[in-house]
Amino acid sequence: MKSLIETIKQFENNKTALGHFNVSDLTALKAIFETARGLNLPVIIGVSEAERDFIGVKQISALIKSLREEFSYPMYLNADHTHSLEKIKQAMEAGFDAVMFDGSDFPFEENISRTKEVVEYVKSANREILVEAELGAIKGNSVILRTSDVRQIKPEDLTAPEQAAEFVKQTGVDLFAPAVGNLHGIIESQGNPSLDISRISEIKKAVNVPLVLHGGSGIRDADFISAIDAGVSIVHINTELRIAWRKGMERALKENPEEITPYKLLPIVIEEIKKVVEQRLKLWNFKFKNAKY
Ligand SMILES: [Zn+2]
C-alpha cells in the first residue's frame, strides 16, 4: 500500500482531490468505505477530538486497520482538529497516519511555536506520520448554521499568502489548511459564501506542501472545481454526512415503525450517507474517472 504522502502527491499531480470524511460511528465508516472502494479511490477517515471520545481512539484505529488489511484497500486515518500535544500523542500511539494540530485560535507567532513543537515531537517519534496545521479563522462547528451565527467573513480572517509561506517554512508541516472563505457547517438559508479562488492560487504558489480545504459541506460544485484546479488536494466533509445520518435515521424509523433490529434499520442510514460520499468523490475526481490509485 502506498504511504499517505505518496497518495496525496498523486492527487496533487493529477489536480484532483482526496476525500477526508469524518465519522463517529460504524454506519458512516461502512458507507464511506464501501463507496470509495467501489469507485476505486483511496480515502481518509477523520475523527475530531469529540468524535474520538465517542468512538474510541484505539477502537477507530483497529477498525481502519482491519479494513485496510482484509481488503488491501488504501484507507487512512487522521486525528482531525487536535488542540493539545497530549491528544496528538494518543493518536500516534494508536497508529494514526496523520494528525491535524489546530492552533488557529492563537496569535500568529504562538500558532507557529505550538505547531512547531508538535511537528518536532511527531517527526522525532515517527517520520511517516503527517502533520497538518491551520492558519486563519475557519468559523463554525460542523452543524447547520443560522445566518446570525456566522458573522460576515472579514478579509483579516482569511489566510495571507506571505504569512502562509512563513508559517509552513518555520513549522515544517506536511499539509496546510488555509482559511479561504470556507466554514465548518452549512448556512441553511442563504448557502455558504463563495471561496476566494485567487487566494487559494496565491497560497499554493507561496507554500510547497499540499493544501487541505476544511468545511467542504455546503460548497457549490463550481467552487469545488475551481478550488481543486487552484491547488486544493484534500477536501474535508463532515456536516453533510451528519445531515444524511439524521435523514436516514428518520426515514428508517418512519418506514419501519415496528422494527427494532438495528441491522435492519441502519442500512437506510448507510444508503443516505453513501449518496453524499459518492456525489462528492465523483465531482472531485471527474477528470480521472478511470485513474488507478
Ligand atoms: Zn476542519
Summarize pLDDT for 204-243 with one digit per residue, the tens: 999 999 999 999 999 999 999 999 999 999 999 999 999 9
Residues marked as catalytic: 80
pTM: 0.95
Confidence grade of residue 149 (pLDDT, cut at 50, 70, 90): low
Alpha carbon of 80 to ligand 1 centroid (Å): 7
What are φ and ψ of residue 188, in 5° steps? -65, -45
Alpha carbon of 15 to ligand 1 centroid (Å): 21
10-15 average pLDDT score:
95
Confidence grade of residue 290 (pLDDT, cut at 50, 70, 90): low
Above 70 in pLDDT, residue 117?
A: yes
Confidence at residue 191, expressed as pLDDT on a 0 to 100 scale: 80
Confidence at residue 234, expressed as pLDDT on a 0 to 100 scale: 98
Confidence at residue 165, expressed as pLDDT on a 0 to 100 scale: 98
128-154 average pLDDT score:
83
% the chain with pLDDT above 70: 96
Confidence at residue 154, expressed as pLDDT on a 0 to 100 scale: 79
Alpha carbon of 82 to ligand 1 centroid (Å): 10
Alpha carbon of 235 to ligand 1 centroid (Å): 9
% the chain with pLDDT above 90: 87
Alpha carbon of 215 to ligand 1 centroid (Å): 6
Confidence at residue 181, expressed as pLDDT on a 0 to 100 scale: 92
Confidence at residue 293, expressed as pLDDT on a 0 to 100 scale: 59
Summarize pLDDT for 16-35 with one digit per residue, the tens: 999 999 999 999 999 999 99
32-46 average pLDDT score:
97
Residues measured by CB to lie within 5 Å of ligand 1, the ion: 214
Confidence at residue 188, expressed as pLDDT on a 0 to 100 scale: 81
Alpha carbon of 81 to ligand 1 centroid (Å): 6
Alpha carbon of 184 to ligand 1 centroid (Å): 6
Summarize pLDDT for 246-267 with one digit per residue, the tens: 999 999 999 999 999 999 999 9
